[in-house]
Amino acid sequence: MDTSNPAAFVNAEFLKEHVGRRVRAVVQVMQSDGDTVIGKSTDEKQLVVKGYPPNPLSTFVEVIGIADTTQSIQAETWTNFGDTLDVTSYDKVCRLANGDHKHLFI
C-alpha cells in the first residue's frame, strides 16, 4: 500500500501545474522520430514526449513520466491505447481530477 508516487492526470492545460512531478497524459501521435514524439493532448494542444516509444506505436498512447517543462514530458512508461479513443471523456476526467475531486487522486 503506497501512495507516495502518484501520477496526476494532465492535459496541456494542467501540465503547467505539475512541472517537475509525475504525470500521466494521453496524446494523439502526430509525429514520431527516434526519441521524441510530438503529440496532440486531449485538449488539442501540442505536447512533446521524450523517451523511446514502443514499436509499433498506436494512434493514441498514454505516457507516464515526469513533466520536465510546461509542454513536455519525460516518459517512463508508454501504453498503446489503440487507434480509437474517446478523447473528450478523458479530457473531462482530467479536469475533474484536477478540480474539486483532486483529493481522490493525489
Enumerate residues 6+ apart whose C-beta is below 8 A from 48.
Answer: 36, 37, 38, 39, 71, 72, 73
Q: How far is CA 50 from CA 9, 44, 74, 86, in A?
A: 18, 19, 5, 24
Residue 29 engages another protein in binding (rule: CB under 8 A): no
Evaluate whether 66 touches 89 at the Cβ level (below 8 Å).
no
**From residue 37 to residue 76, what is the string marking binding to another protein with x (rule CB under 8 A)?**
-----------------------x-x-x------------
Cell of 13: 492545460
Nearer to another protein, 13 or 62 (CB): 62
Nearer to another protein, 32 or 58 (CB): 58
Stretch that binds another protein, among 11-19, 27-35, 44-52, 83-91 (CB under 8 A): 83-91
Identify which of 58, 59, 63 has the alpha carbon closest to the alpha carbon of residue 73. 63
Binding site for another protein (CB under 8 A): 1-9, 24, 60, 62, 64, 77, 79, 81-82, 85-86, 89-90, 92-93, 96-97, 101, 103-106
